[in-house]
């Protein structure tokens, strides 16, 4: 049997944390910890090494965006989903720029949250293509290139991986990419896994951001 996906919940409201824990555990996900502040979220993400963090944007001590940046700097392999009561496009762009896999409104149908966690854990898109493209356009400006990321794509990726990344950045799923490139789905999955490893990202959103910032489109 595969190991359950591990999740850290970070929200300053106890009722929200309890509700999320019950919902996730009912769906077979393993909640390894709960944080009440931004600093607690950073510390627990480091010590518990969850696969996914559900992180509220509005947190005491440090806000969610500050915590997000610190978590991704220390553990780029951890996927972070932002939780917010305010579906503000500006928040989304900043969250993507700081490393988020996506975000969920607290008004969302609760039954969709476990599926979103699984999507983040497996590197799938959490955002529909139109929303993804809008977020990437703003996030590419928000996130300056770092020396380690300012490497020509040709020095990192094969031609086949670059073709897959270009379609991934358009918000396409593996099946559609496979059909577009006349490849098997398993081959596309292998390319996507290698792209994540080479770019040191945890999910498709961050891979797509890398592509936009490096002119792969």
Q: Is residue 133 part of a domain?
A: no
Look at residue 156 in the predicted model and tell me its pLDDT: 86
**How much is the average pLDDT of 15-36?**
95
In which band, very low, low, confident or very high, does the pLDDT at 154 lie, cut at 50, 70 and 90?
low
Q: Is residue 14 part of a domain?
A: yes
Show the tokens assigned to 11.
Answer: 């929200």
Answer yes or no: do 115 and 201 share one domain.
no
Tell me the CATH number at 83.
Answer: 3.40.50.2300
Number of domains present in the structure of the chain? 2
Q: Is residue 55 part of a domain?
A: yes
Q: Is residue 96 part of a domain?
A: yes
Domain that residue 148 falls in: 144-213
Answer yes or no: do 27 and 60 share one domain.
yes
**How much is the average pLDDT of 177-186?**
96
Q: To 5 degrees, how large is the angle CA 46–CA 50–CA 54?
A: 100
Q: Is residue 185 part of a domain?
A: yes
In which band, very low, low, confident or very high, does the pLDDT at 19 lie, cut at 50, 70 and 90?
very high
Q: Which of 73, 104, 128 is the last residue of a domain?
A: 128
Look at residue 58 in the predicted model and tell me its pLDDT: 87
Q: Which of 128, 158, 176 is the last residue of a domain?
A: 128
Answer yes or no: do 120 and 148 share one domain.
no
What CA–CA distance (Å, rounded) separates 103 from 16? 16
Q: Which of 80, 101, 128 is the last residue of a domain?
A: 128
User: 165 or 125: which carries more pLDDT confidence?
Assistant: 165
Answer yes or no: do 118 and 52 share one domain.
yes
Answer yes or no: do 111 and 40 share one domain.
yes
Whether 149 has a pLDDT exceeding 70, the answer reads no
DSSP structure class, residue 200: T
Q: Cβ-count burial of 178 within 10 angstroms (0-12 exposed, 13-18 middle, 19+ buried)? A: buried
What CA–CA distance (Å, rounded) separates 82 from 156? 29
Residue whose C-alpha is closest to residue 58's, from 96, 22, 88, 18: 88
Show the tokens assigned to 65.
Answer: 């965006």
Q: Is residue 20 part of a domain?
A: yes
Q: Is residue 1 part of a domain?
A: no
Answer yes or no: do 37 and 80 share one domain.
yes
Answer yes or no: do 120 and 160 share one domain.
no
Whether 124 has a pLDDT exceeding 70, the answer reads yes
Q: Are 60 and 67 in contact (CB under 8 A)?
A: no
Look at residue 147 in the predicted model and tell me its pLDDT: 46
Over the stretch 71-85, which tens digit does the pLDDT of each residue have?
999 999 999 999 887
Answer yes or no: do 100 and 206 share one domain.
no
Answer yes or no: do 71 and 178 share one domain.
no
Residues paired with 80 in a beta bridge: 53
| Coil, strand or helix at 177 | helix
Q: Cβ-count burial of 19 within 10 angstroms (0-12 exposed, 13-18 middle, 19+ buried)? A: middle
Q: Is residue 134 part of a domain?
A: no
- pTM (2 d.p.): 0.83
- Beta-carbon count within 10 A of 203 CB: 27
Answer yes or no: do 43 and 103 share one domain.
yes
Cβ-based neighbours of 156, under 8 Å, separated by 6 or more: 198, 199
Q: To 5 degrees, how large is the angle CA 115–CA 119–CA 120?
A: 120
Look at residue 111 in the predicted model and tell me its pLDDT: 83
Least confident range from 19-28, 104-113, 207-216: namely 104-113
Show the tokens assigned to 142.
Answer: 């928000």
Over the stretch 33-90, which tens digit does the pLDDT of each residue have?
999 999 999 999 999 999 999 999 888 888 899 999 999 999 999 999 998 876 667 7
Look at residue 151 in the predicted model and tell me its pLDDT: 59
Answer yes or no: do 100 and 182 share one domain.
no
């Amino acid at each position: 049997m595969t190991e359950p996906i591990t999740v850290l919940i970070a929200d300053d409201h106890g009722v929200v944390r309890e509700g999320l824990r019950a919902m996730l555990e009912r769906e077979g996900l393993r909640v390894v910890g709960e944080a009440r502040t931004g600093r607690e979220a950073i510390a627990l993400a480091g010590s518990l090494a969850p696969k996914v963090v559900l992180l509220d944007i509005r947190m005491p001590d440090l806000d969610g965006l500050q915590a997000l940046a610190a978590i991704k700097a220390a553990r780029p392999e951890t996927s972070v989903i932002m939780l917010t009561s305010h579906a503000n496009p500006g928040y989304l762009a900043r969250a993507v720029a700081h490393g988020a896999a996506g975000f969920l409104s607290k008004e969302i149908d609760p039954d969709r949250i476990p599926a979103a966690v699984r999507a983040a854990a497996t590197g799938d898109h959490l955002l529909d293509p139109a929303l993804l493209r809008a977020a990437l356009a703003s996030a590419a400006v928000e996130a300056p290139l770092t020396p380690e990321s300012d490497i020509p794509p040709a020095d990192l990726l094969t031609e086949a991986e670059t073709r897959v990344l270009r379609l991934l950045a358009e918000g396409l799923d593996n099946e559609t990419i496979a059909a577009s490139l006349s490849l098997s789905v398993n081959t596309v999955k292998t390319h996507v896994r290698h792209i994540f490893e080479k770019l040191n990202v945890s999910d498709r959103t961050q891979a797509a951001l890398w592509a936009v910032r490096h002119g792969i489109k």
